[in-house]
């Protein structure tokens, strides 16, 4: 009843209920799971993308959102035989089913060793400011349908035996055509011969004809990117030229095939056939604005990290504080009521632990036992009960001299009965107030440990968000990523403030000296 009249206590309780609701329903509220927020997880937008709502300001209205365009390949024009543009003969045809474009070639119908090239287009519109990064992702496979060759073991190694009936070489090229019509090659795979009969060890998975693993365009760039005016950072591209103009863009896919050669000699053409299949992949424009609170350096949603962090911070704070309070209550009551050598031993142990600096000791324990949230709770609890135990001990020393305690002892009550029925209930309000006020300290200590890089790497705590922000330069004027600094800082502040308000309200209720007339 007294608490219900305390406005500060009710305000703290309201804030705590809010954080509890966010933590309990974090999997529903957060757009991304904890697994999607690890450093190894795929990007969700561009690095340090601003919050989506910044477009209310005119200066940010042209920022590109997260986009994904399907490369639905369509036939563009006649192909080439050698370097001559012409209608392709019956030796080349293609089909498109289930999102996969397949080109077939039969050399017996062309009667030529000249390469045959066919082109396909995929267009999309880009009406925003110059993009920072993009990604083209697709899969492809190729197969020489009529390669037959026997391999035999000889003293000099594995050697072919008998004639081959045909082989095929393939090349895939992708160009980007910008609105003014200029074409830039963005992927140009070198000739690679699929003479599977002569391959003793299977080719790498990247080239495996049975592989469906996606090929990320940025992973295939080398010096070509720099020649085209790209700045190559990590594995993503920062275009300097290609996306400086708004309008329609076109990806042009070129597939080239020709009969192959064997050890410098032509193989018979009558059975040289092959096919190349390319998926209708995704052209991803990494958004420079994203979600409610943007993204961090790892291009992951900050809002999701903030939501998941509330649950972890509450668990750490409440569990560590409750454990420390229980230890302080047990040690203080035991020392104060029993006295003698028990009191002396326990208090000397408290003196030793109080003298130890908690943060360096905490870092040593984390380094020994590993970065784990549960270890952190235990360590915070072990070093968080000493002050409370002294307060409880002083109260227990006073209570054991009270008349009701002496009456209980004179009535034949056992020590355990006297402690749990008479001593503990009278010191419990003090312990409860201390526990509530200890929660903010535990939360801030966990944030401090995470901020200096010693926290659990798999737990998206608020301190970890601040650590990554500091470690990746979010505080620098060049980035000034306030959306990865201010929200977790405010979350820590308000959660701690909630427990402080509740603790002061409880202290005001249970402490007669602080109680006010209503």
Answer with the residue of higher pLDDT: 214 or 484: 484
Q: Give residue 214's pLDDT.
A: 41
Domain 3-41+300-510: CATH superfamily is MetI-like (1.10.3720.10)
Confidence of residue 184 (pLDDT cuts 50, 70, 90): confident
| pLDDT value at 325 more than 80 | yes
- How many Cα atoms occupy the beta-carbon half-sphere of 296 within 13 Å? 30
pLDDT digits (tens, 9 = 90+) for 97-112: 878 888 888 776 666 6
Distance, in Å, from the CA atom of 103 to the CA atom of 113, rounded to the nearest integer, reads: 18
| pLDDT value at 51 more than 90 | yes
Which of 200-214, 232-246, 365-379, 480-494 reaches the highest mean pLDDT?
480-494
Of the listed ranges 181-185, 257-261, 285-289, 489-493, the one predicted with least confidence: 257-261
Q: Is residue 119 within 8 Å of 77, Cβ to Cβ?
A: yes
| pLDDT value at 399 more than 70 | yes
Instruction: Please give the average per-residue pLDDT across 187-205, as a whole number.
Output: 34
The pTM of the full predicted model, rounded to 2 decimals, is: 0.73
Please return the burial class of 160, using the count of CB atoms within 10 Å of its CB with bins 0-12, 13-18 and 19+. middle
Answer with the residue of higher pLDDT: 15 or 181: 15
Q: Give residue 73's pLDDT.
A: 86
| pLDDT value at 446 more than 60 | yes
Q: Give residue 42's pLDDT.
A: 80
Answer with the residue of higher pLDDT: 395 or 516: 395
Largest CA distance in the chain: 116
* DSSP notation for 397-437: HHHTTSHHHHHHHHTT--HHHHIIIIIHHHHHHHHHHHHHH
Q: Name the CA radius of gyration of the chain, rounded.
A: 35
| pLDDT value at 320 more than 80 | yes
Confidence of residue 151 (pLDDT cuts 50, 70, 90): very low
Q: Give residue 303's pLDDT.
A: 94
Q: What is the mean pLDDT of the chain?
A: 76
Q: Give residue 261's pLDDT.
A: 55
Of the listed ranges 286-295, 297-306, 414-423, 508-517, the one predicted with least confidence: 508-517
What's the CA dihedral at 448, 451, 455, 459 to 10 degrees?
A: 110
Same topology, domains 3-41+300-510 and 67-285? Answer is no
Using CA atoms, how far residue 302 sits from 36, 135, 294, in Å, is: 12, 22, 6
Domain coordinates in residue numbering, the chain: 3-41+300-510, 67-285
**Buried b vs exposed e over 330-355: b needs ≥16 C-beta within 10 Å?**
bbbbbbbbeeeeebeebbeebeebee
Q: Is residue 110 within 8 Å of 104, Cβ to Cβ?
A: no
At the topology level, CATH places domain 67-285 in Jelly Rolls (2.60.120)
Percentage of the chain beyond pLDDT 70 is: 77
Q: Give residue 117's pLDDT.
A: 84
Instruction: Please give the average per-residue pLDDT across 258-270, as a whole number.
Output: 55
Intra-chain end-to-end CA distance of the chain, in Å: 11
Answer with the residue of higher pLDDT: 119 or 166: 119
Confidence of residue 515 (pLDDT cuts 50, 70, 90): low
Answer with the residue of higher pLDDT: 60 or 166: 60
Answer with the residue of higher pLDDT: 478 or 177: 177
Q: Give residue 228's pLDDT.
A: 40
* Angle value at C-alpha 488, between 483 and 494, nearest 5 degrees: 125
Instruction: Please give the average per-residue pLDDT across 347-359, as a whole number.
Output: 84
Please return the burial class of 304, using the count of CB atoms within 10 Å of its CB with bins 0-12, 13-18 and 19+. buried
| pLDDT value at 312 more than 70 | yes
Beta-strand relationship, 134-138 and 282-285: antiparallel
Q: Give residue 113's pLDDT.
A: 67
| pLDDT value at 200 more than 60 | no
Instruction: Please give the average per-residue pLDDT across 148-164, as a whole number.
Output: 49
| pLDDT value at 196 more than 80 | no
Q: Give residue 293's pLDDT.
A: 92
Distance, in Å, from the CA atom of 488 to the CA atom of 310, rounded to the nearest integer, reads: 10
């Amino acid at each position: 009843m007294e608490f219900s009249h305390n406005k500060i206590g009710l305000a703290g309780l309201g804030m705590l209920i809010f954080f509890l609701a966010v933590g309990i329903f974090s999997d529903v509220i957060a757009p991304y799971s904890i697994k999607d927020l690890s450093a190894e997880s795929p990007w969700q937008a561009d690095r340090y993308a601003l919050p989506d709502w910044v477009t209310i300001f005119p200066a940010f209205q042209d920022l590109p959102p997260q986009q994904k365009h399907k490369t639905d390949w369509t036939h563009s024009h006649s192909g080439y035989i050698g370097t001559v543009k012409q209608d392709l003969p019956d030796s080349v045809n293609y089909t498109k089913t289930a999102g996969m474009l397949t080109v077939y070639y039969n050399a017996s119908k062309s009667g030529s060793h000249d390469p045959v090239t066919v082109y396909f287009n995929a267009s999309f519109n880009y009406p925003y400011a110059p993009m920072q990064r993009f990604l083209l992702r697709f899969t492809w496979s190729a197969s020489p349908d009529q390669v037959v060759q026997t391999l035999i073991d000889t003293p000099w190694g594995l050697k072919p035996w008998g004639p081959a009936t045909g082989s095929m070489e393939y090349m895939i090229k992708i160009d980007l055509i910008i609105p003014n019509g200029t074409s830039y090659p963005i992927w140009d795979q070198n000739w690679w011969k699929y003479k599977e009969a002569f391959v003793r060890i299977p080719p790498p998975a990247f080239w495996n004809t049975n592989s469906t693993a996606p090929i990320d365009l940025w992973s295939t760039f080398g010096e070509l990117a720099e020649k085209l005016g790209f700045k190559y950072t990590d594995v993503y591209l920062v275009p300097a030229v290609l996306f400086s103009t708004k309008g329609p863009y076109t990806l042009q896919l070129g597939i080239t095939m020709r009969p192959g050669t064997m050890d410098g000699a032509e193989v018979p053409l009558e059975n040289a056939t092959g096919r190349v299949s390319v998926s209708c992949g995704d052209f991803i424009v990494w958004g420079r604005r994203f979600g409610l609170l943007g993204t961090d350096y790892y291009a992951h949603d900050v809002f999701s990290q903030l939501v998941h962090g509330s649950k972890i911070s509450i668990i750490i704070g409440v569990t560590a504080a409750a454990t420390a309070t229980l230890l302080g209550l047990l040690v203080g009551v035991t020392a104060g009521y029993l006295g003698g050598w028990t009191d002396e031993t326990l208090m000397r142990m408290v003196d030793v632990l109080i003298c130890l600096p908690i943060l360096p000791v905490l870092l040593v324990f984390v380094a020994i036992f590993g970065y784990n949230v549960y270890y952190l709770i235990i360590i915070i609890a072990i070093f968080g009960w000493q002050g409370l135990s002294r307060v409880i001990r002083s109260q227990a020393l006073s209570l054991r001299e009270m008349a009701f305690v002496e009456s209980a002892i004179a009535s034949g009550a056992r020590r355990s009965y006297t402690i749990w029925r008479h001593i503990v209930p009278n010191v419990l309000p003090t312990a409860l107030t201390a526990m509530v006020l200890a929660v903010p300290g535990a939360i801030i200590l966990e944030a401090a440990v995470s901020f200096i890089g010693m926290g659990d790497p798999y737990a998206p705590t608020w301190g970890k968000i601040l650590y990554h922000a500091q470690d990746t330069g979010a505080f620098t004027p060049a980035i000034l990523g306030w959306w990865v600094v201010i929200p977790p800082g405010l979350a820590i502040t308000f959660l701690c403030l909630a427990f402080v308000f509740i603790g002061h309200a409880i202290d005001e209720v249970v402490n007669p000296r602080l109680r006010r007339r209503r």
